[in-house]
Amino acid sequence: MASSSSSFTFFRRLLPLCSSKQRAKFSPFSVREGLGGAFRGFSSVSSPEQKISALKEEVRRLEDDSSVPDDEIEKIRREFDAAKQCFLKIPDALKRMPKMNPQGIYVNRNIRLDHIQVYGFDYDYTLAHYAANLQSLIYDLAKEYMVNEFRYPEVCMNFKYDPTFPIRGLYYDKRRGCLLKLDFFGSIELDGCFYGRRKLSVEEINEIYGTRHIGRDQARVLVGLMDFFCFSEACLIADMVQFFVDAKLDFDASYIYQDVRKAIQHVHISGVVHQKILLDPHRYIVKNEQMLFFLKMLKEKGKKLFLLTNSPYYFVDGGMRFMLEEYMGSSDSWRELFDVVIAKANKPDFYTSEHPFRCYDFEKDTLAFTKVDTFLPEKIYYHGCLKSFLQITKWHGPEVIYFGDHLFSDLRGPSKAGWRTAAIIHELENEIRTQNGDSYRFEQAKFHIIQELLGRLHSTVATSQNRAAYKTLMDELNDERRQARGIMKNMFNGSFGATFVTDTGQESAFSYHIHQYADVYTSKPENFLLYLPEAWLHAPYDIKIMPHHLKNGIRAVWGLPVC
Q: Give the E-state strand segments of 108-217 in sequence order.
A: 111-112, 118-121, 129-130, 170-173, 178-182, 188-195, 198-199
Of 64, 65, 92, 124, the catalytic one is 124
Looking at residue 69, its pLDDT comes to 52
- Has 259 been labeled as part of a binding site? no
Residue 48 covered by a domain: no
26 located within any domain: no
> Of the residues 425, 453, 481, which one is the last residue of a structural domain?
425
Q: Confirm whether 534 is domain-assigned.
A: no
70 assigned binding-site residue: no
End-to-end Cα distance, the chain: 42
Domain assignment of residue 541, yes or no: no
Which element (helix H / strand E) includes 471?
helix 467-492
Backbone angles phi, psi at 341, to 5 degrees: -125, 120
Task: Considering the candidates 71, 92, 122, 246, report the single residue annotated as catalytic.
Answer: 122
* Cβ count near 344 (within 10 Å): 22
Q: What is the 3-state secondary structure (H, E, C) of 46-94?
A: CCHHHHHHHHHHHHHHHHHCCHHHHHHHHHHHHHHHHHHHHCCCCCCHH
Mark whether 124 is an active-site residue.
Answer: yes
**Do 150 and 218 touch, CB atoms closer than 8 A?**
no
Write the CA distances from 407 to 39, 301, 510, 515, integer angstroms.
64, 28, 9, 10
Does 298 share its domain with 383?
yes
Residue 5 included in any domain: no
CA dist 55 and 23 (Å) reads 15
- Same domain for 361 and 455, yes or no, is no
Residues 154 and 175 in one domain: yes
* pLDDT tens-place values along the chain, 563 residues long: 444 333 333 333 333 333 333 333 333 333 333 333 333 333 444 454 554 455 445 545 544 544 445 588 888 888 888 888 877 776 777 777 788 999 999 999 999 999 999 999 999 999 999 999 999 999 999 999 999 999 999 999 999 999 999 999 999 999 999 999 999 888 999 889 999 999 999 999 999 998 888 877 778 899 999 887 899 999 999 999 999 999 999 999 999 999 999 999 999 999 999 999 999 999 999 998 999 999 999 999 999 999 999 999 999 999 999 998 888 776 678 999 999 999 999 999 999 999 999 999 988 999 999 999 999 988 999 999 999 999 999 998 899 999 999 988 899 999 988 999 999 999 999 999 999 998 898 888 888 889 888 888 888 776 767 788 888 999 999 999 999 999 999 999 999 999 998 887 788 999 999 999 999 999 999 999 999 888 999 988 766 667 777 554 554 454 554 44
Which residue, 425, 458, 479, sits at the end of a domain?
A: 425
In a domain, 416, yes or no: yes
Give one DSSP letter per residue of 480-512, joined into a string.
Answer: HHHHHHHHHHHHH-TTT--SSB-TTSPBBHHHH
* Residue 331 and residue 396 in one domain: yes
Domain of 446 in residue numbering reads as 71-100+437-491
Q: Is residue 25 part of a domain?
A: no
Domain annotation covers residue 501 = no
Same domain assignment for residues 310 and 370? yes
DSSP secondary structure, 229-247, as one string: THHHHHHHHHHHHHHHHHT
Same domain for 166 and 122?
Answer: no
Domain co-membership, 227 together with 351: no
In a shared domain, residues 182 and 226: yes
Determine the pLDDT at residue 58: 53
Residues 119, 340: contact at Cβ < 8 Å? no
Specify the number of domains making up the chain: 3
Of 372, 404, 425, the residue at which a domain comes to its end is 425
DSSP 114-128: GG--EEEE-TBTTTB
Tell me which amino acid residue 269 is: I
Length reported for the chain:
563
Same domain, residue pair 329 and 263: no
| The pLDDT of residue 110 | 94
CB half-sphere exposure, 449, CA atoms < 13 A = 28
Same domain, 122 and 78: no
- Output the pLDDT for position 15: 32
CA-closest candidate to residue 242, choices 318, 155, 306, 316: 155
